Structure 1
Amino acid sequence: MLDVAAIEDADAAIASLDPIRSRLLAELAVPNSATGLGVIVGLPRQKVNYHLRTLEERGLIELVEERRKGNVVERVMRATASSYVITPSALASVQPDPSRAPDRLSARWLLALAGRLVQDVGRLLAGADREAKRLATFGLDGEIRFASAADRAAFADELGAAVLGLVSRYHDEAAPRGRDYRLVLALHPSANPPTGSTAGATAAAAPTEPDPSNARRAGGE
């Protein structure tokens, strides 16, 4: 079972958003049968089976084993992931386009960037899983408390300058076997209630397979 999976198909998104099927997905973090799930959610086995078939057709659950009980074969299912993220691809005709109105001070543009990030990483991760490879990524997450709006603006300016400096240092347009990466930085008010002063950040990088033929490459795909 994956830790998180991206849902790109509209029908799969609809199936996952149904309240009963969403509950079944959550319960199937632990493998179970239609009979066992029926007891948990308070539904007849036949109705649970109907919902399970839909989830299986959309690739949201998978068969773990089959058990024979008399003349009945009981199918034990589990979710394909512990949690799911619906990407903008599921709403292809109205998905956000960050290139439409780029504005680094716009919260709506930031939302469009975040949507593209979810879509791109979800698609790349699905491809990497199919090929049994690791995807080279890096994430940074943390909180900072600014004393004033002026401090926040100054921080944003310094951060932008520092990032541009790093990009200028490491970007190599002429690298014959180079790999393009997208860089996204975001700064927004915390959506969590304040719990005291916090500062700093945590970072994580996905390990990648070795690639001795290209020392500058960041990792495998």
Structure 2
Amino acid sequence: MLDVAVIEEPAAAEASLDPIRSGILAALAEPGSAAMLAARLGLPRQKVNYHLKELERHGLVELAEERRKGNVTERIYQATAASYVISPSALSAVSPDPSRAPDQLSAHWLLALGSRLVQEVGALLSGASRARKRVATFGIDSEVRFASAADRAAFADELTRTVADLVGRYHDESAPRGRSHRVVVGLHQIPAAQPTDPGGQPDPQQSGGTTTTHTTAGQDA
């Protein structure tokens, strides 16, 4: 079983989003039969069997073993991964494209960058899995709380200059055996519970939050 599987096919994505099937996938983190799942989820066995076949058809569950019980053979299934991520490639016609409107201050652009990150890392994982190789990746996750909007702007400016300096120092367009990497730096506010004033409205003086910086870099296997 994989730790994470990336779903790239639209039909598989649709199958995984069905509430019953997503429940079956979660239950099959531990191997089980249709009868066991039916009892666990409170569903008719016939319905569980139908959804299992659909999930198996899309490669989301697999046969783990067959157990012989008298004249009956019990099929034991398990999920192919502990968790799943749907790649934006499953909705390629409408997935966000960061090249359309590159605006570092736009939340929509940040979402487009994240979408592309999931799509490209998912493709790397899929290819590496088929080749039985590992994907070399590196990630940093940190938090920073700004005292003011001015401090946040200054931080963004300094971060931009620092990344540009590093990229300029190490980028080598002419390296014959070089491998291209993508560096994504994201800065976003972490929503915090907002206290309310006596009238039941959010208090504008208490609406601050923390901010998270994500820096990720990866290379193909």
TM over 0.5: yes
Q: Which residue of 2 aligns with 1:212?
A: none
Amino acid at match of 2:67: R
* 8 Å contact from structure 2 (residues 110, 186) kept in 1: yes
SS in structure 2 at match of 1:187: strand
TM-score (normalizing by structure 2):
0.87
Q: Any gaps of 5 or more consecutive residues in structure 1?
A: 207-218
Residues 1:83 and 1:140: Cα distance change in structure 2 (over 3 Å): same
CA distance in 2, matches of 1:204, 1:186: 9
| Structure 1 outlier segments of 4+, above 2 Å | 191-194, 197-206
SS in structure 2 at match of 1:56: helix
Q: Which residue of 1 aligns with 2:75?
A: 75
Q: Which residue of 2 aligns with 1:98?
A: 98
Amino acid at match of 1:95: S
CA distance in 1, matches of 2:157, 2:120: 27
Q: Which residue of 2 aligns with 1:213?
A: none
Instruction: Quote the offset at 1:202 in angstroms.
Output: 9.2
CA distance in 1, matches of 2:111, 2:177: 32
Q: Which residue of 1 aligns with 2:49?
A: 49
Which has more strand, going by share of residues? Answer: 2
Q: Which residue of 2 aligns with 1:211?
A: none
SS in structure 2 at match of 1:121: helix
- CA offsets per residue over residues 54-77 of structure 1, 9 Å max, x none? 001111111110111222211111
Instruction: Quote the offset at 1:220 in angstroms.
Output: 5.9
Q: Which residue of 2 aligns with 1:209?
A: none
Matched, 1:148 2:148: yes
Matched, 1:32 2:32: yes
Q: Which residue of 2 aligns with 1:13?
A: 13
TM-score (normalizing by structure 1):
0.87
* 8 Å contact from structure 1 (residues 5, 85) kept in 2: yes
1:180-219 equivalences in 2 (<5 Å):
180-191=180-191, 193=193
Instruction: Quote the offset at 1:25 in angstroms.
Output: 0.4
Amino acid at match of 1:31: P
Residues 1:205 and 1:185: Cα distance change in structure 2 (over 3 Å): closer
Residues 1:138 and 1:29: Cα distance change in structure 2 (over 3 Å): same
CA distance in 1, matches of 2:79, 2:192: 29
**Count of matched residue pairs:** 207
Residues 1:142 and 1:26: Cα distance change in structure 2 (over 3 Å): same
* 8 Å contact from structure 2 (residues 146, 211) kept in 1: no
Q: Which residue of 2 aligns with 1:176?
A: 176
- What root-mean-square deviation, in Å, do the aligned CA atoms of Structure 1 and Structure 2 show? 2.2
Instruction: Quote the offset at 1:152 in angstroms.
Output: 0.3
- CA offsets per residue over residues 197-221 of structure 1, 9 Å max, x none? 9899898998xxxxxxxxxxxx661
- CA offsets per residue over residues 87-111 of structure 1, 9 Å max, x none? 1111121111111111111000110
Amino acid at match of 1:44: P
